Amino acid sequence: MKARVFVTLKNGVLDPQGKAIGHALNGLGFGAVGEVRQGKVIDLELSETNEAKARAALNDMCEKLLANTVIEKYEIELKA
Protein backbone atom coordinates (compact mmCIF):
# COMPACT_ATOMS: atom_id res chain seq x y z
CA MET A 1 0.00 0.00 0.00
CA LYS A 2 1.14 3.54 -0.67
CA ALA A 3 0.57 6.42 1.68
CA ARG A 4 1.05 10.13 1.45
CA VAL A 5 1.43 12.20 4.59
CA PHE A 6 1.14 15.97 4.61
CA VAL A 7 2.82 17.85 7.39
CA THR A 8 2.01 21.54 7.51
CA LEU A 9 2.37 24.31 10.02
CA LYS A 10 -0.63 24.89 12.25
CA ASN A 11 -2.70 27.93 11.56
CA GLY A 12 -1.36 30.77 13.60
CA VAL A 13 2.23 29.56 13.35
CA LEU A 14 4.17 31.99 11.23
CA ASP A 15 5.50 30.50 7.98
CA PRO A 16 8.35 32.69 6.74
CA GLN A 17 9.11 30.30 3.93
CA GLY A 18 5.59 30.49 2.57
CA LYS A 19 5.70 34.22 2.90
CA ALA A 20 8.98 34.38 0.99
CA ILE A 21 7.53 32.27 -1.81
CA GLY A 22 4.46 34.51 -2.01
CA HIS A 23 6.67 37.55 -2.12
CA ALA A 24 8.86 36.04 -4.82
CA LEU A 25 5.83 35.07 -6.91
CA ASN A 26 4.47 38.58 -6.68
CA GLY A 27 7.89 39.86 -7.66
CA LEU A 28 7.84 37.61 -10.73
CA GLY A 29 4.60 39.25 -11.77
CA PHE A 30 2.14 36.68 -10.44
CA GLY A 31 -0.06 39.33 -8.91
CA ALA A 32 -3.03 37.08 -8.31
CA VAL A 33 -1.29 35.10 -5.58
CA GLY A 34 -2.55 35.60 -2.04
CA GLU A 35 -1.41 33.69 1.00
CA VAL A 36 1.15 30.92 0.48
CA ARG A 37 2.02 28.20 2.99
CA GLN A 38 4.71 25.60 2.58
CA GLY A 39 4.72 22.15 4.09
CA LYS A 40 6.18 18.72 3.64
CA VAL A 41 4.83 15.76 1.79
CA ILE A 42 6.12 12.32 2.68
CA ASP A 43 5.40 9.37 0.40
CA LEU A 44 5.70 5.95 1.99
CA GLU A 45 5.49 2.42 0.74
CA LEU A 46 3.90 0.08 3.28
CA SER A 47 3.80 -3.68 3.24
CA GLU A 48 0.64 -3.53 5.38
CA THR A 49 -2.45 -4.36 3.31
CA ASN A 50 -5.20 -3.72 5.83
CA GLU A 51 -6.31 -0.14 5.49
CA ALA A 52 -7.36 0.44 9.08
CA LYS A 53 -4.14 -0.98 10.39
CA ALA A 54 -2.09 1.06 7.96
CA ARG A 55 -3.89 4.20 8.99
CA ALA A 56 -3.31 3.47 12.66
CA ALA A 57 0.38 2.87 12.06
CA LEU A 58 0.70 6.07 10.05
CA ASN A 59 -1.01 8.01 12.78
CA ASP A 60 1.48 6.63 15.21
CA MET A 61 4.41 7.55 12.91
CA CYS A 62 3.16 11.10 12.64
CA GLU A 63 2.76 11.52 16.38
CA LYS A 64 6.13 9.98 17.15
CA LEU A 65 8.29 11.33 14.39
CA LEU A 66 6.90 12.80 11.21
CA ALA A 67 5.25 15.86 12.74
CA ASN A 68 6.10 18.04 15.68
CA THR A 69 2.62 18.65 17.01
CA VAL A 70 3.73 21.73 18.91
CA ILE A 71 3.84 23.55 15.59
CA GLU A 72 2.61 21.15 12.92
CA LYS A 73 -0.51 19.28 11.92
CA TYR A 74 -0.74 16.30 9.61
CA GLU A 75 -3.08 14.60 7.16
CA ILE A 76 -2.87 11.03 5.92
CA GLU A 77 -3.89 9.82 2.47
CA LEU A 78 -3.92 6.15 1.54
CA LYS A 79 -3.76 4.78 -1.98
CA ALA A 80 -4.33 1.11 -2.60
Partner 1 sequence: MKSAVIVFPASNCDRDAAVALEQMTGRKPHMVWHQECDLPDVDLVVLPGGFSYGDYLRSGAMAGQSAVMRAVKAHAKKGGAVLGICNGFQVLTESHLLPGALMRNAGLKFVCRPVTMAVEETQNVFTRKYLHGQQVTFPVAHGDGNYFADEETLNRLEGEGRVVFRYAPGQNPNGSSRDIAGILSEKRNVLGLMPHPERVVDPLLGGTDGRGLFESLIETLS
Partner 2 sequence: MTEITPELVAEHGLTGEEYGRIKRLLNREPSFVELGIFSVMWSEHCSYKSTRIHLRKLPTKAPWVIQGPGENAGVIDIGDGDACIFKMESHNHPSFIEPYQGAATGVGGIMRDVFTMGARPIAMMNALRFGEPSHPKTRHLVSGVVSGIGGYGNCMGVPTVGGEVNFHKSYNGNILVNAMCVGLARTDNIFLSAAKGAGNPVVYIGSKTGRDGIHGATMASAEFSEDSEEKRPTVQVGDPFTEKLLLEACLELMATDAIIAIQDMGAAGLTSSSAEMADKGGSGIELDLDKVPQREAGMTAYDMMLSESQERMLAVLKPGREAQAEAIFKKWELDFAVIGITTDTRRLVVKHKGEIVADMPVTALSDAAPLYERPFSKRPPATGTPSFDASRPVMASLKKILAAPDMCSRRWVWQQYDYTVMADTVQMPGGDAAVVRVHHSNKGLAITTDVTPRYCKADPYEGAKQAVAEAWRNITAVGAMPLALTDNLNFGNPQKPEIMGEIVSGIDGIGEACRALDFPVIGGNCSLYNETNGEGIPPTPAIGGVGLMADLHRMATIAFKREGDAIILVGDTKGHLGQSIYLREVEGREEGRCPPVDLAAEKRNGDFVRRLIEAGRVDTVHDLSDGGVLVAVAEMALAGNIGADIGVAGTAHSIPFFFGEDQGRYLLTASPVEADRIEGELRHAGIVHAIIGKTIAEKVLRVEREGETSLSTLRAAHEGWFPSYMSGEEIPPTN
User: What's the chain's Rg over C-alpha atoms?
Assistant: 16
How many whole angstroms separate alpha carbon 54 and alpha carbon 1? Answer: 8
Residue from 51, 68, 75, 77 in contact with partner 1 (CB under 8 A):
68
Q: Which of residues 1-60 bind partner 2 (CB under 8 A)?
A: 9-17, 19-21, 23-24, 27
Residue from 41, 51, 68, 77 in contact with a copy of itself (CB under 8 A):
41
Residue from 11, 12, 14, 64 in contact with a copy of itself (CB under 8 A):
64
Residue 33 is a binding residue for partner 1 (CB under 8 A): no
Which residues make Cβ contacts (< 8 Å) with residue 18, sequence separation at least 6? 9, 35, 36, 37, 38
